[in-house]
Amino acid sequence: MLDLSQQTLHELEAKCIKEQPPAAMAACPLHVDCRGICSTIAAADFNTARELFEKSSVFPKITSCLCEGPCQNACLRHPLGGALHLQQLEMAAVTYGTLRPKRQFLPKKAEKIAVIGAGLTGLSAALELGKKGYAVAVFEEAPLPGGWLLNNRKLPASILEEELKKLSQYKIEIHTCHKVTSIEAFKKEFQSIFIAWVKKETPISVHPLTRFWKDSVFAGGDAIRSEHGSVPESIADGKSSAISIDRFLKKVSLEAGREDEFSSCTNLHVKTEKTPPLSSKIIHPDSLLTKEEAIEEAERCLLCTCTDCIEACTFMKNYKSYPKKYLREIYNNLAIAMGTRHANKMINSCSLCGQCASVCPHGLDLGEVIQEARNIMVSKRKMPASAFDFALKDMAFSNSEECFLAKNAPLIIALSSKTNY
């Protein structure tokens, strides 16, 4: 007998890899939704593509100009005509897409946070903390904020200026020409400190996930690396540190639910054996694509996902979902809905053929779960022993001695051709 407890449910859910990220998305430190961006651009929906990109990147225009493209080698299209030019698709998204204005309601927070270093990591952390309602003071030794971005020839000065204007929308102050020699003085005025730049021969050793250093101090970016980090790594450090600082000030767990934040692994199983090669038509990999070129390039995306069981099972095709969602629905029907039979039709429709388990890369047997769910519902008298219980009982009665059929004599009406109406 299968124990359908919450723990068992989580163990079974872990076998379903449908929600695992594509390889290219996992390889990106920002976990940019490359599949979503490609699918929306292929549908000529640049607005949604831009929204998806901006959810991941704090400074999307800087990212689309300078990203080193860690997703390229991981893209499954790589050996089948060449990896997608995702950086150019991101640039097309921010160029042709328009964001709908949203009203912002910032929570009022009394805590003040100091950020040391106005490079990409420090500015990313400051912007994320500003969005959360904190008052942030950024201290930079140089005359201008931006760090190495100021000297990068690939980044137009107009884009850097436009991106930095976002900081003025929040309670963020930038103090340039301010050399920080000690952080002890900051602890009296600020409730938390984030070090994003420091001249040290030895990088600061921090918690690998939370970026916590000591006391109320966190560190990221070049402060924790011996070499200069990539663009997505720098922004990801700032975003992650902002989450940690926010949790620290709220006095909640710094680690809970963040296990995959920096993970570059995925278990997603994607069939490519029968996928024909399709080469890109992009000639100039550094130029801005036209809308038509972007759409054509996005159409090359394999839209990586695992559909082995769905393709093999008529039941799953009919209910248009996948095992992980079915498992949640079954559990909710048993534990939360308490037998009001929200999912009974779906549960009773499975033929228990075992096809799903035979094709699943991890052997997840949805039929086994459905069979046990039926047993539980029947034992609680919330479901008949068979979905066809009435039909079976009617057939048994009709074949018993208690049943007989009576048929009236046929009524014959002779009509004459001379009948008067």
Tokens (6 digits) for 73: 């080698």
Residue of 55 and 3 predicted with greater confidence: 55
At 408, give phi and psi (nearest 5°). Answer: -70, 155
Look at residue 116 and give its three-state secondary structure: strand
Q: What is the pLDDT of residue 228?
A: 84
Q: What's the order of all strands across the beta sheet hosting 212-214?
A: 172-175, 135-139, 112-116, 192-195, 217-219, 212-214
pLDDT in tens, 152-185: 989 999 999 999 999 999 999 999 999 888 899 8
DSSP run (H or E) holding 348: helix 344-349
CA 155 to chain centre: 29
Query: What tens digit of pLDDT does each residue of 79-121 get?
Result: 999 999 999 999 999 999 999 887 777 888 999 999 999 999 9
**What whole-number distance in Å separates Cα of residue 146 and Cα of residue 2?**
58
What percentage of the chain exceeds 90 in pLDDT? 67
Percent of the chain whose pLDDT exceeds 70? 94
Whole-angstrom distance, CA of residue 350 vs CA of residue 354: 10
pLDDT single digits (tens) 376-417: 888 887 777 776 667 778 888 888 988 877 777 777 766 555
Q: In sequence order, what are the residues at sequence separation of 6 or more whose Cβ sits closer than 8 angstroms to the Cβ of residue 154? A: 65, 66
Q: Are 218 and 241 in contact (CB under 8 A)?
A: yes
| Residue 380 pLDDT | 81
Half-sphere exposure of 157 (CA within 13 A, CB side): 3
The string of pLDDT tens digits covering residues 286-318 is 789 999 999 999 999 999 999 999 999 999 999
Write down the pLDDT at residue 165.
95
Strand partners, 374: none
Banded pLDDT at 356 (limits 50, 70, 90)? very high
Which uninterrupted H or E stretch holds 188?
helix 186-189
Instruction: Label each residue of 200-222 as H, E or C.
Output: CCCCCCCCCCCCEEECCEEECHH
Query: Half-sphere exposure of residue 170, counting CA atoms within 13 Å on the CB side?
Result: 28
Q: Three-state DSSP class for 35?
A: helix
Better-predicted residue by pLDDT, 22 or 386: 22
pLDDT above 90: residue 266: yes
Torsion of the alpha carbons at 126, 128, 134 and 137, rounded to the nearest 10: 0
SS3 content of the chain, % helix, strand, coil (to 5): 40, 5, 50
H/E stretch holding 161: helix 157-164
- Residue 115: in which H helix or E strand, if any? strand 112-116
- Pull the structure tokens for residue 228: 């200069």
In angstroms, the CA 112 to CA 294 distance is 43
What's residue 245's pLDDT? 98
Q: What is the model's pLDDT at position 2?
A: 75
The pair phi, psi for residue 70, each rounded to 5°, is -65, -15
Look at strands 112-116 and 172-175 and give their pairing. Answer: unpaired
State residue 403's pLDDT score: 84
Quick check: 421 pLDDT over 50?
no
The pLDDT value given to residue 418: 54
- 211 pLDDT band, cuts 50/70/90, is very high
How much is the pTM?
0.84
Q: What is the DSSP letter of 148?
A: G
Question: Measured between alpha carbons, how far is 304 from 34 in angstroms, rounded to an integer?
Answer: 10
313-342 residue pLDDT tens: 999 999 999 999 999 988 888 877 665 666
**For the chain, what's the residue count?**
421
Q: How far apart are CA 250 and CA 247, in angstroms?
A: 5
**283, two tokens:** 């000639």
CA–CA distance, 303 with 315 (Å, rounded to integer): 23
* Averaged pLDDT, 8-30: 93
Helix (H, G, I), strand (E, B) or coil at 175: strand
